[in-house]
Amino acid sequence: MVRKMGVYAVLAYVIYGLFFYWYLFYFANTKLPFEFQGTKADPATFLNGRELMLSVEYSKIRNLLFFLSTPFEWLFYFVILLFGLSKVFKQWAENSSKYKLLQTGIYIIWLSFFAFLATFPLSYISYSLSKTYHISTQTFPSWMKDELIDFWINYGTMLIIVPVVYWLMKKSTKRWWLYAWLLSIPFTLFMMFLQPVVIDPLYNDFYPLKNKELETKILAMATKAHIPAQHVFEVNMAEKTNAMNAYVTGIGSNARIVLWDTTLDRLSDNQILFIMSHEMGHYVEKHIYFGIAIYLLLSLFGLYFVYRIMNWAINRFGKELKISDARDIQSLPLLLLIISVLMFASSPLTNLISRYEETRADRYAINMTKNPEAAISSFQELTRSGLSQVNPPLLVKIFRYDHPSMLDRISMLEEYEIQHRTK
């Protein structure tokens, strides 16, 4: 039975991968609708022939890697359980220490290490792909350093969360999910507060914007929008990527507006002002706080579903999965598998909400700057620098895009330009 379940799991993954390969490379139609051809949203009007070809190639491969990566994680956790490796990790932990807390930490490090090894090939392929298409400028040692930082941050986070969750399971087998959710509220807020000042600087250097003339313009816009900003930060991303970006991070006094130095180097002041007003739109409309609220609401339902599905799976397949009790630490791969599946399943909803907020921020930005030419050209440059797909396939947009497509964004700006040109 165990061997049969393993074969079925691998076969299901292969069929899934073949489906998305067929969908992305042969079925999906990414051509622009006739009404958009020749407009400023048409990549043929602002990309040369080589850039068009590269953007199509790069997008297809990158999207395929996206759809392969998450289910591969599910397959890994399933195999770990099916072949008793989770039980082996637990035995190694028990043989290494007589203290329960240390045993949990040792179990987690073994599971994390094998997960890192299993997913490393896909991660490296993604890195190599971005190097091949000149998106990434990062050296392998620098990339490897970031991967190891990711590993230890994830391990540290699990080292805090996992012992608490399993302690709650033992204290309350029926309501542990609710207590875990209640504890997740202050933890989530605390991590968001730490993000800009503790976690992000581990990857890159952040410093106040060097261009003081531009900073004055940005802060003047912030004052107009009633945003209590004192600094705009830039981050040294040129040594890692040719892509451009800007974002808002953190909450409360640690909230920051951040510009990549690649954005500063390649865009004009007016284009940057549009991008910054977009980020201010997120602040003004409190998208960060709405995002936290939505995340916490979804996590409440998610933890309940984890509780229900986990108990069902152990009752139905406990013998095959080598799990006799959900409260046993060796059930952790099953817990992580269920969480990952639920997050993937909920991504169409969370992406839809995010795209709505991004559209709102775009509208806020164009109403503040009233410069559609700068806005449109900034999106065109973002498309060029990241070899982005202007009109992505439907499934890619649903599962992957937390921002509107460039077709949606540029066409909205063109409508604004036409409306205000006639007034």
Catalytic residues: 279
Tokens encoding 122: 């896909």
Distance separating alpha carbons of residues 182 and 354, to the nearest angstrom: 24
Residues 137 and 73 sit within 8 Å (Cβ to Cβ): no
At a CB cut-off of 8 Å and minimum separation 6, what does 408 contact? Answer: 359
* CA-based R_g, the chain, Å: 24
Closest CA to 75 of 8, 170, 153, 156: 8
3-state SS assignment for residue 207: strand
Distance separating alpha carbons of residues 414 and 407, to the nearest angstrom: 10
Distance separating alpha carbons of residues 83 and 78, to the nearest angstrom: 9
Distance separating alpha carbons of residues 45 and 406, to the nearest angstrom: 13
Closest CA to 47 of 34, 35, 56: 56
> Which residue bears the tokens 């982005």?
388
The letter for the amino acid at 141 is P
Kindly state the greatest CA–CA separation across the chain. Answer: 78
The letter for the amino acid at 167 is W
Q: To which H or E segment does residue 77 belong?
A: helix 49-82
Edge-to-edge strand order for the sheet containing 233-235?
A: 206-208, 233-235, 256-260, 246-249
Judge residue 257's burial from the number of C-beta atoms within 10 Å of its C-beta, 0-12 exposed, 13-18 middle, 19 or more buried.
buried
3-state SS assignment for residue 325: coil
Distance separating alpha carbons of residues 19 and 337, to the nearest angstrom: 22
Distance separating alpha carbons of residues 141 and 132, to the nearest angstrom: 17
> Which residue bears the tokens 């201010």?
280
